[in-house]
Structure formats: C-alpha cells, structure tokens
Chain A
Amino acid sequence: MISILRSMWLTFLHVFHKTETVEYPEVKPYLAPRYRGRIVLTRDEEKNERCVACYLCAAACPVDCIALQAAEGENGRRYPEFFRINFSRCIFCGFCEEACPTYAIQLIPDFEMAEYDRQNMVYEKQHLLISGEGKYHGYNFYKNAGVDMGVKGKGEGHNEEKPVDLKELLP
C-alpha cells in the first residue's frame, strides 16, 4: 500500500520536471562522431578513392552484407569495380570499419535511412562514396605500402630506402 502511494507521488512530481522530449525531426539529437550509423566510403587527401578493394570489410561483416569486386586502374591501382552494401541486413556493428586497413569505410553519425521499399536499402558505390576524408584525415595507404601503384614510386614511401641497385658490388 505504502509503496503504491510512493510511486504515485513520484509520478506526480514529474509533472514539475523539465520536459525531456526532443522535437525530432525538427530538433536533431547530438550524435558523437564515433556513432555507428550510415556507412560511407571516403577519399584520400588527393581526392582519390581510398578503398583498395582488399575484401577485408566483407570478410569481417558478420551478416555478409558487403559485396565488391576488385579492379585495376591506371598503373595497377586497385579500386572496387562495384561496392555494394545491403543495409537491410547491416547491423551497424562497425566491424568493417575496424577491419579496413585504409580508413576507406567509415560509419558516420547518420541514421536516417528509412525506406518504404526494402530494395532501396541496397547501396551501390555511387551512393556510398563521399568526396572527403571522413573522420580520419591525412592517411594514404599507398604512401605507406611497398607497392608502386602509381601513387608513389618504389622507395619513395614512408620509411623506405631507395630501391636496391642490383649491379653494385659493395659489401
């Protein structure tokens, strides 16, 4: 009996509290940058696609909703010929971002993706690719990797020596 009265009293007190209702969609909530929402593909500082089509995100995805195909551009640069995410399956776990060695795939604080038709939840590369660097700035995979795929020459990357001269005889 007492506890019921106590509950009613507490509920009554809420009448005088400041209201917590957010007038969404007029008022947008604050979402931290690390919020895991809609997935984007980013570009590097030279505005080139960051994704090198390594398939790691697809492999990491627990619901297998990422499919892509690697292709070779000029100078052998790897990029995804197509890149598809089926958002009707995606659980926004962020594993793909975690797995990505190039910071290409990123989850951003946007969750407004509702659709009437489930088919519209299938995003292709043109829907995913943004023009900026996203959350992580200043990283270009090709400058750190040993390969020469047209971005930098052999030995010009981060912490690399000039290519070995095979003819030299010095010990």
Chain B
Amino acid sequence: MSLEVNMVKIRIDGKYFEAKPEKNLLETCLSIGIDIPHFCFHPALGSVGACRLCAVKKFRDKDDTKGRIVMSCMEPVTEGLMISVEDPEVKAFRTSVLESLMTNHPHDCPVCDEGGECHLQDMTVMTGHNYRRYDFPKRTYNNQELGPFINHEMNRCIQCYRCVRFYRDYAGGKDLNVFASRNHVYFGRHEDGTLENEFSGNLVEVCPTGVFTDKTLKKHFTRKWDLTNAPSVCVHCSVGCNTIVSERYGSIRRIMSRYNGAVNGYFICDRGRFGYEFLNDEKRIKSVQIRSKKADSLQIIENEQLFTSLNNSELNSKKIVGIGSPRASLESNFALMSLVGKENFYHGISEREYSLTKTISGFFQHSGALIASLKQIEKADAILVLGEDLTNTAPMIALAIRQAARNVPNQEAKKKGIQLWNDAPVRELAQDSKSPVFIATLFKDSLDDVAEVTFHSSSEDIANLGFDIVSGLNNITTDSKTGKKDHQELAGKIAQILKNAKNPLIISGISSGDKAILHAAINIVTSLESVGSGVMMSMVLPDCNSMGLALLPGKSFQDLFILEESHRIDALIVLENDLYRRADEESVNKLFEKCDRVVVLDQLMNKTTQKADILLPAATFAESEGTIVNNEGRAQRFYKAVGNKTQVQESWRWIGELISNRDNNQTDKWNLLDDITESMAIELPLFSKLRKYSPDADFRMLNMKMPRQTIRYSGRTAINANISVSEAKLPQDPDSPLAFSMEGQNENPPSSMVPFYWTPGWNSVQAMYNYLDELDGRMKGGDPGLRLFEQSTGSKRDSLEYNNQKSEVRKNELKIVPVYQIFGSEELSAVSPSIIERIHEPFVFLNPKDSEFFHLSDEESVILEILNIKLNVKVKIENSIVPGQAGLSVNLPGMPYVDIPGTGKFHKL
C-alpha cells in the first residue's frame, strides 16, 4: 500500500546513505542507527527545535570545510545534503548545550524513579558532559499533587516541552500547561489536582526526565535493570494494545507500552497502564480449593488430591457444560470446548452481547471489508462514529481519531510546502481546521472537541441518522427514517463527505446495545463500498478476547436458563468468568442450582467463584502464555513475566490435565503452548495461521533462549538467600523461547518477542528506535500480530434489515441506556487501587428537563428501578443526553447486572 517514495542521497561523515525526503535529518539518522543526542523531538510529536541538542554540522558543498551548525531535527533531507555528526566543533557544542541544561539539575538520580532508564542520563553520557563547572545556586520548584497515576518532581525538568505537546496537542488534554516565563517555566496544572486526560500515563514515557513518573511503580519501586519482563498484550479492552509487563520478587511492578506500528504505536491508555495492580491483589486465587458437600466451605488442597477427588464419570458424562469467557485466552476457551464438546460449549456473555458480537464477527469473516487497524484509523480522512463512546470503551481508538482529525489540514500544509514533522507551523496553519469527523453518540464524549458535528440524541435517532446516510449514499431521497428535516440534511451532508473522502472510516460497536445502530453502520460501509469508496471500518467490542470467543462455535449461555427444571447438569465448568456480570442474579442462581458440581477457573474471587465446588487458580496474562484476538481480528500472543512455580497455571493447562485425567492418559494432552496451537489449527482452520505466529518454543538465538532480564539484573545470589542460601534452579519456561535469565542474546529479537528495550547507550524507552525499521514505521521483521480476516473486493452483500422500533416508554418512565466508564467498567482494572481512586459512584445522566420533571437535583441519590432491579444511583445532570432518555453507568464495582437498554423509573429516597 505504501507509495514508492523518491529516495535521496545524503552524505553523513563521508559515508553515503539513501534517505526519504519527507523525513527530517534527525529521524533519518536515528533510523539509520546514527546516534544524535536530542530531547524535544519525538517521532509521534514531530520537531519544534526547542532543546538545541541535536546540532550537526551542515556543509554547503564538497569544498565547504568550515560548515555551519544546524539543528538536525529542523533540517529537511534534500538531495546531496552533506553533514557531519562527529565534527569536533559540533560535538563540543552539544556538550555545552547539555551542560547548560544541567546547571539547575538536582542531585537526585538515586531517588529518582527515572534513573537507569533516563533519557537525560543517556544524553549526558552520549555528549560526554561529566563534570559540573557551574557552582551557583540551583533553581527549585514546588511540586504538585497530580492524582493517583502520576508523580511530579519539577526540579528535574529540562524544558523540552514534550509533555505539553503530548498532553495538549496530541492527546487533547486541557489541564496540563506551561506557566511562568524565562528560565522559570513550569510544567504542571493550574492548581493541584488529578490529571484528567485518559492518556496521562504516557507522560512517564514521553518526558525524557524524572519529572513525571509512574506513581504506582513508586510504591514498590524497582529499577529497570532489575525487572523480569515479558512482551504482553493489554487485556482491558478490545483494542489489544501491546505492552511490556514487568516483575520483581514475584509481584508485577508496572506496565509500559510496547511498540507496535500497526496497533498502538508508542502509547497506551491509563486503564491499560495502571490497571495491572489487580495482579497483586489479595483477592487473587492462588491455590486449588475444593468442597465435598455444598454446605462445606472451600478447603485448600494439593494438585494430586484434586485428581483423585474428581469423579471421572462426571467429566465423561453427557451432562457436562462449559461456559467460556471473552477475557480468557483463545487457548483456554478452546481447551474448554474440547473438554465438554462443541454442543455443550457456551459463550459466557449476555444474549444481547452474543448476538451483536456474532453480527460483527460474521460480517468481518465473510464480507472482506477493510477492517482498520489503529494505524489505519490515524490515516482516515473522514470519520463517522455511530453510537460508540470511544474514549470510554476503546480509549486508544479515540486517540487515533484525534490524530486522524489532522489529516485534512496536514494536506493543506503539504501543499504549502511545510513538512509534516515541522510541528509548530503545521499546527499554526491548521488552527482549528480539522478533518471531517462526525460523532453521533448518546451523550457527550471527551472526543467531541475534534468533531465537526456532534449529534447527541436517542439511540433511535442515531440509528435513523445512520439509515438516512445509507439512503443519501444510495441517492434515495424519499425514504427518510428520521423524519426530521435537520437530521435528514445532516445525513445528506455526512453521506456526501464520506463519499468524497479517499479513506472514510465508519466506527461503531456494541456498547450502546442497539442492534439498529450496528446495522446502520454496517449498511453504510456496504453502501460506500458499492460506490467504489476505499471505506474502512472498525467495531468496538467489550472485552479483550470478545472477537476470539465469537470465532469459536458455541451458544449464548442464556440458553441454559431455559432448560426445564428437571434437566440436571452433572458438572458445570466456568472459565474465567463472573456470570453475575453477564446475567441477572436470579437466573444465574437458578442455573447453579441445576448443577451437581461447579468447577470454576478464575483469577480473582468474585460472586461466581463463591459458588464453586472446585476452584482452580487460573493464571493471568502475566503468568501465562496465550493468544487473544482484538477487535480488528488480530491475534496477538502474550508471554509470562512471572516464573515462580505455584499452583497457579494457565486455564488451558488445567483443562488439559482434566482431559488427560478423564481419559486416563499418562501424558498431558497438551504439554506445550505449541501443542494446543496445533490442536486448534487442526480443529478450527481459521486459526491455522497461528502456527507461524512466532518462533516455536525450541527457537534459539546463538543456541540460547532469549533473556527476559537485562544484563545488569542484580541480586541473583541474594534474592532467595533468606529462604535457602543455596541458589535454586531458575524457573523454566518450556512454552516459549524466552528464558527467566539475564543470559542470552537480546539483540534484534523477533518482533513479537521483545521483552524490553535496551541497546548499548540507550537505557531509556528511546532504545525502542533501534527495534524499528524506521522511526514511526514498522518494527524490524514486521509488526507483531496476525490478522485473521483478509480484505477482499467484489464480494456482493445484501444490506441488513432496518429494524428500528421506537421502544415503548410509559409515562413516568425513561429509556435507560448504558454509560461505560474507562475507569471502573472493566472488571479486572477496577480492582487496582490507583484506578479505584478514579471510579465514580454509580450514577445516572439525566437531562435537565427530566430532572425537573422527576423533581431530582444534581448529585441527589435516588433509586432507579429497571426490570425489578433496584439500584442506588447518583443523579448527574447532563445537557448532552436527550430528554426521555437517561444514561446509567454500567459494570461499576458493586453494581448488579442490568439488561439495558431498557426502561426504568425513579423512586425518591
């Protein structure tokens, strides 16, 4: 797809290189592997020339021996460009720039959490500045309290402006800014308070110094060189951002983003970064527990006892049922399906979610539509969001749209001859102009500020708008669904713009729970394709492996509810799923009553695990290896960071052992991850590609496994010395080519297996540059992840039915729609203490008119009754929600399952 660019020839210190003319000189050199010190340039943020560190010498022609000093980040690459990086004069210049940046630097490294992975430390070494000559007093600043995620230590600032450029310009935040003047500039909030932006955690990586550091890491601080790391995938939403998960002394210390050129690039959202603390929670299930009678309480037992106490006839019987989970790996779900058989395998999601997800997965599988990756979303030039509150359900997609909103003004800049890396003039030229982004949602979203038009309305209106856009695209003017003139005009305008755009993008999802909206979105894609547009689509799903689960055969588990009373289930196996979050309490209780034995595999104690007769400790993503499929159908594998042998193990391994035990096999059904991958490939051809996902477990580099630890991993002979002074054998990982060791080759690992970034001279995250083909481009060897769905053209499709009935709402009742929250609505992250601080109490959005009608005031507590379920919620008056419709926060901790959209009424307290 990438266009052939004309390469130009440049000369660097006497050597000739080919370079792309649309890149600046600094990027070019870094991509080639020539280290030029720099601070303010960031590949995602472009250049502003603020720090003056990236100086190089530029020569006019071959005869020019003197040359002049230029900033490489502000220098376009042109044919015949001649520069020197190594020239003594320019080297001395860079050293002196660094020296002056350091004049006020505090004497902090030993207590600075950035130390050991500090870009400033790296640059100081790289420029050779090593002795402080400036002996005058240092400037100091007071710090601010920035909330549960970010620690602030302003003395360490070197005024590179990366933080505000990321936070304001890139992520659209409002509450971080630069204050004061001259050498007193200050980067912070206007007053103490929580940084509100959903991507604030990236400041930790963007800031080249220790001004902004990870507050959750601070509580159990460990230096980068001491961490045991693994390449992982975020499990907190369906986007599947790539992460690095790090362990020390058996507990998880932090999550960092892992570059994937096709998915999340350099960043992740705060839910993904700070949600990890659940891994260390007290509620973690660490041992096998069993009760022999329903009335007994759970007893901890050894693994062997488990298999003797298990009644094999039970597992052999026909009346065994397995309930899979959208947050368990593909392998674990597949294992359960193998154990219980396809006909007894149920997807553990609500009926509504099941049918909507199936619509999407079916469409993706058979339509050949162009499904946008996150990177492709950034490239779209017209966007329609239909019914999805992206900031809360798929945060990184919202961030990608924010970048896409710059594409049209960027074209303008290009026409004027401004290169896109030249950030200041590009933004100056763009001012407030944006690519056409249309956001039609039930209520406001923090993405609204990039929208050309926001359309907050009822779900019916949104679906109707969608269907009117379809009519507009098909040039049918008579059949308006909205029936409102202004809506119809808007639909016509959107249709026109989508039609004229080169790469329009339609985004929807299932969080609104509305079938009509989803159908409308799909029909728009179909119609656009039929007029020959290069339309892309993206669909947001609720959980990290919702797509993976949808691709497995199985029924919705609510089918189990309608089994007759007399129908007993011998054994019910629940895989990593709290059923009380999926269906109403009564039905789930009834289901459990029908079961003689309940086996639950899970990670955290919850209401479902309390019903277990046998409770097996399932490994989390940090302790296991497995694959999950993100919303675009990209299968991605995560690897374990914790190696200590405990009773906790992968669900697929538990189930494999159950199968072997049942069949009286001496050997385990699946010894290794590769074995189950093979089984899956044979049984389900869609997943046969996974065989070549990444190197097999016996892959070696220089005859060794690849290390999970840095070469400076410390304390090997002391960590366990309190238990036994003789060193124990290192934990083994037979499933992957990664080792729990510091020994081995870590240069250029396969792109899917980068446990951490480090190259000589680069201890900070910037070491990542050396793992990329070119800055901002692909990783060396291709971006990790396997797309399961192919794009194909020419497949003819019928449009989906129009089925938008206005729901019946009686007087004194309101239509209740779901409101998802980035912090709180996802089960696992909602257990993290830092996230808990950001979770709102259960609330209901109410239009001022409705609040008047029901005599409710802002912040008032009220009882909301939906389908006989009574919820205690707080009223939040919200102008963006239409009268007659109320938004109820869903899935927050402690809230019961409610089947919405539906109707509800208020009872005063």
* Cross-chain contact B109 with A59 (CB below 8 angstroms): no
Q: List 6 A-B contacts (CB under 8 A).
A: A52-B110, A64-B718, A86-B725, A102-B110, A121-B725, A154-B155
Interface residues in A, total, Cβ within 8 A: 50
Taking each of A66, A144, A154, A166, which has the highest tally of chain B beta carbons within 10 Å of its own beta carbon?
A166
Cβ B108 vs Cβ A146 within 8 A: yes
- Chain B: CB-nearest residue to A146: B106
Q: Does A72 touch B at the CB level, under 8 Å?
A: yes
On whether A149 and B717 interact (CB within 8 A), knowing A69-B220, A160-B138, the answer reads: no
B140, B180, B716, B726 — most chain A CB neighbours (10 Å): B140
Within residues 99 to 114 of chain B, which ones have a CB less than 8 A from any CB in chain A?
A: 105-112
In the complex, residue of chain A having the shortest beta-carbon distance to the beta carbon of B713: A64
Q: Is A93 an interface residue (CB 8 A)?
A: no
Knowing A67-B714, A163-B140, say if A54 contacts B725 (CB, 8 Å). Answer: no
A17 contacts the other chain (CB 8 A): no
What A residues does B714 contact at CB under 8 A? 55, 58-59, 61, 64, 66-67
Query: Would A59 and B721 be within 8 Å (CB), given that A146-B108, A147-B108, A159-B138 are in contact?
Result: no
Q: Is B218 interfacial (CB 8 A cutoff)?
A: yes
Contact indicator B223/A59 (Cβ below 8 Å): yes
Return chain A residues, CB-CB under 8 Å to B509.
none
Complex contact B137–A72 (CB within 8 A): no
**B115: Cβ under 8 A from any A Cβ:** yes
- Which parts of B727-772 form the interface with A (CB within 8 Å)? none
Decide yes or no whether B17 CB sits under 8 A from chain A: no
Min CB–CB distance A86 → chain B (angstroms)? 4
In this complex, what residue of A is CB-closest to B155?
A: A146
B717 touches A164 (CB 8 A): no
State whether the Cβ of B414 lies closer than 8 Å to any Cβ in chain A. Answer: no
Residue ID in chain A nearest B113 by CB atoms: A70
Check if A92 is an interface residue, CB within 8 A of chain B. Answer: no
Q: Are B718 and A85 in contact (CB under 8 A)?
A: yes
Chain A residue nearest to B724 in the complex (CB): A119
A-contact bits for B148-174, CB 8 A (1 contact / 0 none): 000001011000000000000000000
Bound CA span A69–B249, Å: 9
Q: How far is the CA of A118 from the CA of B724 in the complex (A)?
A: 9
Given the known interface contacts A54-B115, A67-B719, the answer about A163 and B108 at a Cβ–Cβ threshold of 8 Å is no
* Interface of B: prevailing SS: loop
Q: How far is it, in angstroms, between the C-alpha of A169 and the C-alpha of B180 when the chains are bound? A: 8
Nearest-neighbour CB distance to chain B for A142, whole angstroms, equals 8
For the complex, what is the distance from the CA of A52 to the CA of B249, rounded to whole Å? 19
Q: Are B111 and A55 in contact (CB under 8 A)?
A: no
A146-B138, A164-B186 given as contacts; is B715 within 8 A of A58 (CB)? Answer: yes
Q: Which chain B residues have a beta carbon within 8 Å of chain A's beta carbons?
A: 105-112, 115-116, 135-143, 153, 155-156, 179-182, 184, 186, 218-223, 225-226, 249, 712-719, 721-722, 724-726
A52-78 vs B, Cβ < 8 Å mask (1 yes, 0 no):
111110110101111111101000001
Among B107, B143, B186, B222, max chain A CB count under 10 A is at: B107
User: Helix, strand, loop or mixed for chain A's interface?
Assistant: loop
Closest CB of chain B to A140's CB: distance in Å? 12
Query: What's the nearest-Cβ distance from chain B to residue A71, in Å?
Result: 8
Chain A neighbourhood of B713, CB < 8 A:
64
Instruction: Report how far A171 CA is from B181 CA in the complex, Å.
Output: 8
* Contact partner, B225, options A59, A61, A148, Cβ 8 Å: A59
Min distance, Cβ A62 to any Cβ of chain B, angstroms? 10
Asked if A72 meets B226 with Cβ closer than 8 Å, knowing A119-B724, A146-B138, A147-B153, the reply is no
CA of A80 to CA of B221 in the docked complex: distance in angstroms?
A: 10
Which one, A72, A124, A162, contacts B219 given CB within 8 A?
A72
With A55-B714, A84-B718, A85-B718 in contact, do A146 and B226 touch (Cβ < 8 Å)? Answer: no
A155 in contact (CB, < 8 A): yes
The answer to whether B718 touches A145, judged by C-beta atoms less than 8 angstroms apart, is no
Give Cα A155–Cα B142 distance, bound, in whole angstroms: 9
Name which of B107, B110, B116, B714 has the most chain A CB atoms within 10 A of its CB: B110
Q: With the chains together, A35 CA to B388 CA distance in Å?
A: 70
Q: How far is the CA of A65 from the CA of B725 in the complex (A)?
A: 11
- For the complex formed, measure the closest distance between the CB of B133 and the CB atoms of chain A, giving whole angstroms: 14
Instruction: Flag if B721 contacts A122 (CB, 8 Å).
Output: yes
Asked if A84 contacts B722 (CB within 8 A), the reply is yes
| Least CB separation from A155: chain B residue | B140
- A89: interface (CB < 8 Å): yes
> From A63, which residue of chain B is reached at the shortest CB distance?
B717
A171 to B183, CA, bound (A): 10
Q: Are A55 and B226 in contact (CB under 8 A)?
A: yes
Query: Contact at A86–B137, with CB atoms within 8 Å?
Result: no
Q: Please tell me if the beta carbons of B107 and A89 are within 8 angstroms of each other in the complex.
A: no
Q: Is the CB of B721 within 8 A of A67?
A: yes
**Distance in angstroms between the alpha carbons of A69 and B719 in the assembled complex:** 10
CB contacts (< 8 Å) of B715 on chain A: these are 58, 61, 64-68
Q: Which of A88, A144, A148 contacts B725 (CB 8 A)?
A: A88
Given the interface contacts A69-B249, A166-B179, does A146 sit within 8 Å of B718 by beta carbon?
Answer: no
Q: Which residues, 118 to 171 on A, are CB-close (under 8 Å) to B? A: 118-119, 121-122, 124, 141, 144-149, 154-155, 157, 159-164, 166, 168-169, 171
Task: Take A146-B107, A146-B156 as given contacts and tell me if A163 and B721 are in contact as well, using a CB distance cutoff of 8 Å.
Answer: no
Q: Are B221 and A70 in contact (CB under 8 A)?
A: yes
Chain B minimum-CB-distance residue to A118: B725
- Judge whether A171 and B111 touch: CB under 8 Å: no
CA distance A118 to B721 in the complex (A): 10
Contact B138 A145 (CB under 8 A): no
Chain B contacts for A72, CB-based, 8 A: 218-219
Given contacts A145-B111, A147-B111, contact A164 B718 (CB under 8 A): no
A118 CB → nearest B CB, Å: 5
Of B111, B719, B724, most buried by chain A (CB within 10 Å of CB) is B111
A101 interfacial contact with B, CB 8 Å: yes
- The answer to whether A122 and B722 touch across the interface, beta carbons within 8 angstroms, is yes
A56: chain B residues at CB < 8 Å are 110
Q: Is the CB of B107 within 8 A of A54?
A: no
CB of A52 within 8 A of CB of B718, answer: no
| Assembled-state Cα–Cα distance A116/B716 (Å) | 23
Closest beta carbon of chain A to B222's beta carbon, Å: 7
Complex CA–CA separation, A111 to B210 (angstroms): 40
* Docked-complex contact A161 and B110, CB < 8 angstroms: no
- Residue from B136, B222, B714, B726 having most chain A Cβ neighbours under 10 A: B714
Binary interface profile of A, 38-55, with partner B (CB < 8 Å = 1, else 0)? 000000000000001111
Establish whether residues A171 and B182, one from each chain, have CB atoms under 8 Å apart when the complex forms.
yes
| B623 nearest CB across to chain A (Å) | 20
- Given A54-B110, A67-B714, A145-B107, residue A160 in contact with residue B140 (CB < 8 A): yes
Residues of A with C-beta under 8 A to B186:
164, 166
Q: A64-B715, A145-B108 are in contact. Are A164 and B139 (CB under 8 A)?
A: yes
- The reply to whether B110 and A145 contact each other, CB–CB distance below 8 Å, is yes
- Chain A residues with Cβ below 8 Å from B135 are 159
The chain A residue with its CB closest to the CB of B726 is A118
Contacts of B105 in A (CB 8 A): 146
Q: Which of A64, A85, A148 contacts B716 (CB 8 A)?
A: A64
**How far, in angstroms, from A102 to B179 measured CA to CA in the complex?**
34
* B725 contacts A161, C-beta separation under 8 Å: no
Are B111 and A52 in contact (CB-based, < 8 A)? yes
A147 touches B155 (CB 8 A): yes
Q: Which residues of A contact B219 (CB under 8 A)?
A: 72
Task: Give the Cβ gap from B901 to chain A, nearest Cβ, in Å.
Answer: 46
Give Cα distance in the complex from A53 to B722, angstroms: 19
**Which residues does chain A contribute within 8 Å of B110, judged by CB atoms?**
52, 54, 56, 101-102, 141, 145
Q: Which residues of B contact A155 (CB under 8 A)?
A: 140
Find the B residue at minimum CB distance from A121. B725
Q: How far is the CB of A20 from chain B (nearest CB, A)?
A: 37
Closest to B223 in A: A55
CA distance A56 to B121 in the complex (A): 15
Known A-B contacts: A65-B721, A147-B111. Give 16 more (CB < 8 A): A54-B110, A55-B226, A56-B110, A67-B718, A84-B722, A85-B718, A119-B724, A122-B718, A145-B106, A146-B106, A146-B138, A147-B155, A161-B138, A161-B139, A163-B142, A164-B141
Asked whether B137 lies within 8 Å of A161 as measured between CB atoms, the reply is yes
